[in-house]
Amino acid sequence: MLRAPDQLTLLPQWKSSHYDVVVGVLSARNNHELRNVIRSTWLKHSLQHPALSQRVLVKFVIGARGCQVPVEDREDPYSCRLLNITNPVLNQEIEAFSLSEDTSSELSEDRVVSVSFRVLYPIVITSLGVFYDASDGGFQRNITVKLYQADQEEALFVARFSPPSCGVQVNKLWYKPVEQFILPESFEGTIVWESQDLQGLVSRNLHRVAVNDGGGVLRVLTAGEGALPHEFTEGAEGVAGGFIFTIQGDNTEAQKRAMCPVPRRPWRGWKSNTEGDALLKNLHSRPRRLLDHISNLQEEDALLKEESRLHGDIVFVDVIDTYRNVPAKLLNFYRWTVETTDFDLLLKTDDDCYIDLEAVFNRIALKNLDGPNFWWGNFRLNWAVDRTGKWQELEYPSPVYPAFACGSGYVISKDIVHWLASNSGRLKTYQARVG
């Protein structure tokens, strides 16, 4: 395993002279150019200014370790989670859920059941299905199955099951074809089964059904794994049927055609032998890609070590440097600041921002922000929690955040920094925010 040099992992322990403001500039490991722009502009001005140089300490905050998973092999570009596709099932249609032969078909009390999933490699859903044992005389229910994209109120497609239109039976599932769309990588959706009768559905929790993820091209999300709590989904969490999908062979082409209908195909065996070659080629090249990536990380470590030695303005915090770890980077910097410096205020900013320190001090004086218990910045109110995308947050138990600081930066008083640092082990971090 690649280990970052000790110089990047150990936080320097030193006590300095007193500073009015400590500035923490959050920076990604590879943002050398942005840091140099700051060093040649507002940071240079502060260091050369006779008053500012004594009042301000500026540090770039960087994760001590880079992600050891190449970007091409991650579930998304914001985390360090391996896209764990191992044996993709190509050239055939795949049933996502199934019941064992000895599983009983008793009804549950739930008339609405839903399950959420995330696409890790482009797929096409060809059919939606419901659990129902029709051995006693045919399909006798009225059930609607819908697929929703996360945070969308209108269903992408719908299958309606009724006695005169029940689809095709396969074991204990009944399937009906749906309009076919390419669901791209990172697509998040929810399938909802709803009984139109007075009876409940034949449903099971996820631990009582067999899940076929096609070799790792999709992942079922559960509340225990950080998916949305039940109040953000329709009905009870569980499975009351299934869906049939195929793996889209070329990821690049799939992204171009994402969410566009694909031509109708026969129900079975419609994929050509050539489709899927791009995915297999990508998997076969993974070992070489990993070796190249580790070599690049080692080179990056050496560059960062030299940059730190040359400028002396970097704090390496003990986290893997990814966007999802920004809150952890910030908490670690709070701890470093409390443990190593004597200060009154802390200003947090990013490496793509220009800070007019003289204007900041003038505003602090104008607003009399020299006491305890204040947090000064631009605040967002009633901001909806993002459930998908770069700022995805699946664990915050409310549809909106409380007021939080955002934008180019904020200033907080020493007592708040001390509280955050001392409670950093107990605080829950949410995406790009600290709660």
Q: What is the DSSP secondary-structure string of 47-88?
A: HHSTTHHHHEEEEEEEEEE--SS-GGGBSSTTS--B----S-
Q: What's the gap between Cα 340 and its chain centre?
A: 33
d(CA 421, CA 414): 10
Q: pTM for this structure? A: 0.79
Nearest by Cα to 346 from 407, 410, 434: 410
Nearest by Cα to 117 from 244, 237, 219, 236: 219
d(CA 421, CA 415): 10
The predicted pLDDT at position 272 comes to 42
DSSP 324: G
Residue span(s) of the chain under CATH 3.90.550 come to 6-69+291-434
In this structure, which topology does domain 6-69+291-434 adopt according to CATH? Answer: Spore Coat Polysaccharide Biosynthesis Protein SpsA; Chain A (3.90.550)
Q: Give the up-direction half-sphere exposure of residue 335: CA atoms within 13 A in the CB hemisphere.
A: 17
Residue span(s) of the chain under CATH 2.60.120 come to 94-274
CB 213 within 8 A of CB 97: no
Which ranges of the chain have pLDDT less than 50? 1-7, 9-10, 226-232, 252, 254, 256-257, 263-274, 434-435
Query: CA-based angle 146:116:230, to the nearest 5?
Result: 100
Q: Which 3 state secondary structure label does DSSP give 30?
A: coil
Q: Count other C-beta atoms under 10 Å from residue 229's C-beta.
A: 13
Nearest by Cα to 324 from 75, 152, 83, 1: 75
As a whole number of Å, the end-to-end CA separation of the chain is 33
DSSP symbols for 191-253: EEEEESSSS----B-GGGSEE--TTTTEEEE-GGGT---GGGSSSEESBSEEEEEEE-S-HHH
Contacts 24+ apart (CB under 8 A), 250-255: 250/275, 250/278, 250/279, 251/121, 251/122, 251/185, 251/278, 251/279, 251/282, 252/278, 254/122, 254/182, 254/184, 254/185, 255/122, 255/184, 255/185
Q: Residue 105: left if φ>0, alpha if ψ -120 to 50, beta else—which one?
A: alpha
Q: Which 3 state secondary structure label does DSSP give 268?
A: coil
What is the average pLDDT value for the chain, to the nearest integer?
85
The predicted pLDDT at position 405 comes to 87
The predicted pLDDT at position 103 comes to 65
The predicted pLDDT at position 397 comes to 75
**Cβ within 8 Å of residue 171, ≥6 positions away:** 98, 99, 101
CATH architecture of 94-274: Sandwich (2.60)
The predicted pLDDT at position 91 comes to 81
